[in-house]
Amino acid sequence: MLPQALAIPALLLLILLFILSVALLLNPKEHKNGRKYPPGPKPLPIIGNLHQLGKLPHRSMHELSKKYGPVMSLKLGKVPTIVISSPETAELVLKTHDIVFASRPITQASKYICYDSKGIIFTEYNSYWRNMMKLCMFELLNMPKVQSFAPLRREEVGLFVESLKKSAASREVVNVSEKIGDVVENTVHRMIWGKFDDKFGVKQLARDVLLLMGVLDLGDYIPWVGAFDLQGLVRRFKKAHKKFDEVLEIIIKDHEASARLTDQKSVQSIDFVDILLSHMHQSKDKHAITKTNIKAILLDIIIGAVDTTIMSVDWNMAELIRHPRVMKKLQDELKNVVGMGRMVEEADLPKLPYLDMVMKETFRLHPPAPLLPPRECTEDITINGYFIAKKSRVLVNSWTLGRDPKMWSDNFEDFYPERFHNTDIDSHGHNYQFLPFGSGRRRCPGMLLGLTTVPFLLAQLVHCFNWELPPGVSTDDMDMTEEFGLTTPRTQNLLAIPTYRLIKKVN
Ligand code: HEM
């Protein structure tokens, strides 16, 4: 018999143990080996929680996280996956423990299309990635380099405005999304290859690659689907890669030949291929840059730059047309700062605070990469009290962060750029409720370029033209549904009629 003094605590302990065991039986995942695992919906055999992703996984995960919390566990096929859904936990992953989450999983697409993951985006975190990132940051995407391409952007945007002016003169309905796509593609491709006539169809090949990269590849989650190529994707990946590679070879050979012919190219005509070729085989160690590395970087730059920029400008225009008050306020700012006699110059951008707020508000509601490209955890770690095993895939739901009512107040669903007024929230990745370019070591290296191209193009569209929807279409009819892929564009193209509004001839 237990002494009376101990009997009551022992009984209490027994009751407690019983309650705990029942709780563990009901939710066996949450505690194992003394570890507390993140909660999440129960996975099915083989597919795990794949069936719960729906057409728009960021939205499905948003709904699930309301029930399971900001560190949620899913099993995608056989891949343990953690979804991060609050600014506090995002900070733990992207700042406090950044190095543990700085790797990316290798996917079939990155293996077969992106030169066995030899670029930047889909590369594991290691000395190879650090070297490639350094090369990109110092040689291609730093501020002086971004500025050196300003004349190119100005020329392409000038052509873009001229073509819209023609449509305006004939009151044509313009496919604004397509036009934005063209000007962004022209700008990015010219920066990469220089002025070219695209006789090999590299733009279309790049489009094919971008489309394939966005397909949900079940082989990444259920190995036998990949091994037997049941979706037929591996065949398509290899075919797209081969075609793209053949054209790249020709373009690179062309550049090598012209480099031999002309010792000195003018600074303005130097493109990314020239810059990268000048670094080829410079060092003798394992980090020497080879032609394959160059091709992989060029492809990753296309993957990183094209669709993100197009969809950013497109969503901005769609939101502005839906919100005439905001459009008018932005046009007034442009009128006051730039005047009605000329187009916007890049030098004007820092003097346009409302334009900056509009762009941020669009990024908040429509982040181009709503789940950020996946990270992979490189060691066992505990986040917010939850154990996360090495090799888990980690998704930061940037779309949810932009809708956190604690951070953005109850009107978080509204398009209201003024919410950024008098705040120090910027796009650089240290405000964890707002991560359009990600954060930490893997933050977007093209951020400066993106933060120049997007507002420059947008400002031009808004300053040079008034926009109205086609006859019979009202703002309520605008379909704002998203499509999930590598980025998250609108499913419908934006159609509108421009009216030219500048007074003098465009300079
Ligand atoms: C509006 C434009 C853009 C947006 C919104 C955007 C967004 C992003 C995001 C969210 C990431 C993932 C960051 C993370 O995991 O923390 C990323 C990565 C990346 N972006 Fe961008 N991006 C844009 C433009 C560009 C441009 C113009 C380039 C290149 C010229 C570029 C190249 C890359 C690359 C190479 C990575 C991979 C970085 C790594 O994994 O180490 N991006 N971008």
222 Cα to the center of ligand 1, angstroms:
28
8 A C-beta contact, residue 337 and residue 294: no
Q: What is the pLDDT of residue 261?
A: 63
Phi, psi of 52 (to 5 degrees): -95, 0
Residues 6 or more apart in contact with residue 94 via CB below 8 angstroms: 101, 396, 429, 432, 435, 438, 439, 440
Compute the distance between CA of residue 420 and CA of residue 354 in angstroms, rounded to an integer: 9
Compute the distance between CA of residue 150 and CA of residue 96 in angstroms, rounded to an integer: 37
8 A C-beta contact, residue 395 and residue 367: no
Residue 59 has pLDDT above 80, yes or no: yes
Residues 6 or more apart in contact with residue 281 via CB below 8 angstroms: 288, 289, 290
Q: Whole-model pTM? A: 0.92
307 Cα to the center of ligand 1, angstroms:
10
Q: Which two tokens stand for residue 146?
A: 């971004």
Q: What is the pLDDT of residue 31?
A: 62
Q: What is the pLDDT of residue 309?
A: 98
Confidence of residue 29 (pLDDT cuts 50, 70, 90): low
446 Cα to the center of ligand 1, angstroms:
6
Residue keyed to tokens 């600074």: 267
Residues 6 or more apart in contact with residue 219 via CB below 8 angstroms: 108, 225, 226, 227, 229, 230, 231, 233, 234
437 Cα to the center of ligand 1, angstroms:
6
Residue 45 has pLDDT above 80, yes or no: yes
What distance, in Å, lies between the first and last C-alpha atoms of the chain?
99
Confidence of residue 267 (pLDDT cuts 50, 70, 90): low
What string of DSSP letters covers 129-167?
Answer: HHHHHHHIIIIISSHHHHHHTHHHHHHHHHHHHHHHHHH
Give the start-to-end residue ranges of the domains of the chain.
Answer: 33-500
High-pLDDT (> 70) share of the chain, %: 90
Q: Is the CB of 444 under 6 A from ligand 1?
A: yes
Atom of ligand 1 nearest to the CA of 104: 40
Confidence of residue 2 (pLDDT cuts 50, 70, 90): very low
Residue 446 has pLDDT above 90, yes or no: yes
Nearest CA to ligand 1 atom 27: 305
Q: What is the pLDDT of residue 259?
A: 72
Residue keyed to tokens 């930061």: 396
Q: What is the pLDDT of residue 28?
A: 45
Q: Is the CB of 395 under 6 A from ligand 1?
A: no
Q: Is the CB of 397 under 6 A from ligand 1?
A: no
Compute the distance between CA of residue 274 and CA of residue 271 in angstroms, rounded to an integer: 5
Report the CATH superfamily, name and number, of domain 33-500: Cytochrome P450 (1.10.630.10)
Nearest CA to ligand 1 atom 6: 437
Q: What is the mean pLDDT of residues 451-475?
A: 97
Confidence of residue 291 (pLDDT cuts 50, 70, 90): very high
8 A C-beta contact, residue 273 and residue 255: yes
Residues 6 or more apart in contact with residue 239 via CB below 8 angstroms: none
Residue 234 has pLDDT above 90, yes or no: yes
Nearest CA to ligand 1 atom 14: 438
Q: Is the CB of 300 under 6 A from ligand 1?
A: yes
Between 320-334, 431-445, 474-488, the lowest mean confidence (pLDDT) is in 474-488
Confidence of residue 17 (pLDDT cuts 50, 70, 90): very low
Which residues are paired to 491 by β-bridges?
A: none
pLDDT digits (tens, 9 = 90+) for 298-339: 999 999 999 999 999 999 999 999 999 999 999 999 999 999
Nearest CA to ligand 1 atom 11: 444
ipTM of model = 0.99
370 Cα to the center of ligand 1, angstroms:
12
Residue keyed to tokens 């993140």: 38
Which residues are paired to 32 by β-bridges?
A: 35
Which segments are annotated as binding site for heme? 444
Compute the distance between CA of residue 496 and CA of residue 500 in angstroms, rounded to an integer: 13
237 Cα to the center of ligand 1, angstroms:
22
